[in-house]
Structure 1
């Protein structure tokens, strides 16, 4: 019986080798469900129960890639299409709307039709919104912020050659900070030449900032024209140029600093803040580094050996973060039979990261590979290890920092949580509706963050206990804001809006302007 099958995607035009006849492991089918205590996930099937074929990219042809590096993809990146302006509502000055629950149905304070970087348009829209007499305080505050940003931006742009775009000026400012940091560290990984040449190319107009495109650099030389980033291309080019040092990918991250810190079940640890949750992720240096090179001569069949590390579940982190000591351990467990270290993981560059306190830390960024292991089913998520960019904090002379999981778990897995006060987050490779997430009756949902677990304190130590308790409470409040406070606060606010005055008759107030 001929049954319909899902149509295979067409092979994209480009530098691809003929399809390999080697059986490729599926990246999704047959993996175990990724929540503690949950049974293995069944292979994905179509509507009539037949397995859905998983199509993976064919291997790259290095010779064709070398020719394609001269091609620029700038003309193939179209600017984002923005929606039309939303309905404009106006209210008489004699009867302004000052509460969100009284605004007309469909009204909001967003401006999706405007480019967020177009300060002139954003400021003009704020003036219009204030004249509409709806939630004027919101737009008065936003206007003050935009005017401050405009003044700061003008001062920065005055320092660079005329005609440069704001993203380029912002990038130059970021690279200047990175350059100074690299020079203070005696250019340990040979990156100064790359940064200085990239800055010169931006100032000369030879390089532009185009989201979605990158350029590769090695020891001050530009290796390609702007092109989309692909891990398989990166691996080939990085290996050709001995890229564990002196290698740089420009354009992979935003022009400014990234952000850090702003089951498998992600759970709080005893003695830690209630809203700081942790999870285990397996990390390995890329298999591509476990090949004979120089003095390093791995045994036949030797593969990269992973290590399971504990990470803080940080939804505010733009990149995964580990310590240099963690990288050193991974190097040690992957030595060859003669005790020779493998090369360092492929170098991507150096990233400035803005921490929660506003300070900017610079860290080296390298490629690692990650996976998840289910101790109940004793199996990895898949046979495929996922390449990720990881920033490495140098703890050689300082205390190691908490590792941060970054965006990868939520890019790869479904996640869910329950308002039961446990601060658990549930991850799985099946839809979140199939995860065993506890049901909580609305009447049992905690109205506040969990109370501190306090012990009885002897009378003689009351003063000391109060001081310690105060510190813990203060820390908890800060931690709650960063990790769990937003969700809890959002629910509380959402509950008020839905169950409180949202149904009030004043919602009909206001007049739509065509």
Structure 2
């Protein structure tokens, strides 16, 4: 069962959207001393229905402490006052005017001014770029201009790829609607489009409503949801073509099951656990196989998205799927959850062509790691299970990753993918461990553990402190 919020209280909530376009819930007011709301999975509506993932986003903290001007300026980081930080946690990184104003304040304070001079140079450049973009689309808001920039980029990709998902009519119609003022950017609201025609009015996104409209218009192709993915590109900071043949230390592979909404046919797939990916990534071949297994259902299309990757922007189609996590003994750890899935072209051609899990599943289950040189991620469906962590001795067992990796001169074929979940429960009923993908032979050797009564006492103390910390995190 999913993690449960401890002592839930009724609060008046407002809805906002994060960079990925996911719906967020946050308290309207926050009193001094209140703790940041914890991220928790949404409750399912009706029994048996897939969950719609929602998170409570953290509120911006207070402005950092101000400092008296230093003359001469402090230019060595070792000489900065205790408590000083170069961070601006109270200003969003995209607040250009706010960041520029703060840079001038920081430069006048005279503490590491070179940092803020470079930052000011960056934001001055962004301001100039924004003014140029606004001038290119006169009379339109910055939000609409930013969205048009993404749509024009997607249009180029669709034209070059001969529009395999039949989305060009939708993109052209949406661009025209923005430019004419018939469509505006309204955070939290979406519009449905099919074959270049707008379907109804702007409204909040609801999965059941979307699936009904999508089915009515044969939405596996030529169907677009405008407004769901946010203004800025989503993140996918690991590009599969850049990964080495042999996994690096402490990367994790896992098995997630996917299915098409409305279908009961599930398909397990190997994924790289990737916290830098906003969306799940699978191959078009995976979806084709799922359609072959379940010919009566087609994955509903959401349109195209732009992703920031480690080697530039990537444009790709997006579909709505359901995903769940099962143990190797088929115990369901995460309920079926509706998610956005981005499609890579083609099919998986080698074990190192990784699918990416995305961050969503970490909102749905408790996760812990230990400094025991195993690299395991420990999963729990209830917070109390973290009280039963195994013993460890950080000083004796923790080992950093190897400095370098040496593959054989004549590289053999890629090894088969190992089963990512252990075949037995790890330390408590309801808790499991994900084994790291790195081969055991490549792991750095661990130092000998302490022995005797002193060693046992030390391990017990470290375990107790870790358990207290986990109770604080997961309460």
**TM-score after normalising by structure 2:** 0.67
Q: Partners in 1 of 2:196 and 2:258 — Cα distance?
A: 30
- Matched residue, 1:261: 237
- Matched residue, 1:214: 190
- Contact preservation (8 Å) 2:73, 2:111: no
Q: Secondary structure at the match of 2:204?
A: coil
State the structure with bigger RCO (CA 8 A, min sep 6), 1 or 2: 1
Q: In the superposition, relative to structure 1, how do residues 85 and 274 fare at CA in structure 2: closer, same or farther (>3 Å)?
A: closer
- Matched residue, 2:68: 90
Q: In the superposition, relative to structure 1, how do residues 353 and 454 fare at CA in structure 2: closer, same or farther (>3 Å)?
A: closer
Q: Secondary structure at the match of 2:341?
A: strand
Q: Which has the higher strand share?
A: 2
- Contact preservation (8 Å) 2:223, 2:301: yes
- Matched residue, 2:431: none
5 Å-filtered alignment, 1:268-307, equals 271-286=246-261, 288=262, 290=263, 304-307=264-267
Q: Partners in 2 of 1:244 and 1:228 — Cα distance?
A: 21
Q: In the superposition, relative to structure 1, how do residues 453 and 211 fare at CA in structure 2: closer, same or farther (>3 Å)?
A: same
1:443 matched to 2:421: no
- Matched residue, 1:51: none
- Contact preservation (8 Å) 2:278, 2:358: yes
5 Å-filtered alignment, 1:444-483, equals 444=396, 446=398, 448-451=400-403
5 Å-filtered alignment, 1:152-171, equals 152-160=129-137, 162-171=138-147
Q: CA deviation at 1:96?
A: 2.8
- Matched residue, 1:391: 342
5 Å-filtered alignment, 1:245-394, equals 245-262=221-238, 271-286=246-261, 288=262, 290=263, 304-334=264-294, 341-358=295-312, 360-376=313-329, 378-381=330-333, 384-394=335-345
- Matched residue, 1:428: 380
Q: Partners in 2 of 1:368 and 1:136 — Cα distance?
A: 49
- Matched residue, 1:408: 360
Q: Secondary structure at the match of 1:57?
A: coil
- Contact preservation (8 Å) 1:314, 1:404: yes
- Contact preservation (8 Å) 2:255, 2:268: yes
- Contact preservation (8 Å) 1:97, 1:103: no
Q: In the superposition, relative to structure 1, how do residues 176 and 432 fare at CA in structure 2: closer, same or farther (>3 Å)?
A: farther
1:117 matched to 2:94: yes
- Matched residue, 1:99: 77
- Matched residue, 1:137: 114
1:231 matched to 2:207: yes
Q: CA deviation at 1:321?
A: 0.6
Tell me how many residue pairs correspond in the alignment. Answer: 363
- Contact preservation (8 Å) 2:69, 2:110: yes
Q: CA deviation at 1:307?
A: 1.3
- Contact preservation (8 Å) 1:421, 1:450: no
- Contact preservation (8 Å) 2:220, 2:301: yes
What CA RMSD, in Å, does the superposition of the two structures yield over aligned residues?
3.6
- What whole-Å deviation, never above 9, does each CA across 1:418-471 have from its counterpart, x for those lacking one? 23343332333222861765554342365642355769x9xxxxxx69xx9xxx
**TM-score after normalising by structure 1:** 0.62
Q: In the superposition, relative to structure 1, how do residues 202 and 445 fare at CA in structure 2: closer, same or farther (>3 Å)?
A: farther
In structure 1, list runs of 5 or more residues that go unmatched: 1-5, 13-53, 60-79, 263-267, 291-303, 335-340, 458-463, 469-482, 485-514
- Matched residue, 1:35: none
Q: CA deviation at 1:113?
A: 4.3
Q: Secondary structure at the match of 1:171?
A: helix
1:192 matched to 2:168: yes
Q: In the superposition, relative to structure 1, how do residues 415 and 423 fare at CA in structure 2: closer, same or farther (>3 Å)?
A: same
- Matched residue, 2:451: none
Q: CA deviation at 1:174?
A: 1.0
- Contact preservation (8 Å) 2:260, 2:297: no
- What whole-Å deviation, never above 9, does each CA across 1:163-186 have from its counterpart, x for those lacking one? 323332221111111112122233
Q: In the superposition, relative to structure 1, how do residues 179 and 154 fare at CA in structure 2: closer, same or farther (>3 Å)?
A: same
- What whole-Å deviation, never above 9, does each CA across 1:452-504 have from its counterpart, x for those lacking one? 5769x9xxxxxx69xx9xxxxxxxxxxxxxx99xxxxxxxxxxxxxxxxxxxx
Q: CA deviation at 1:120?
A: 2.3
Instruction: Report the structure number with the largest CA radius of gyration.
Output: 1
Q: CA deviation at 1:141?
A: 2.4
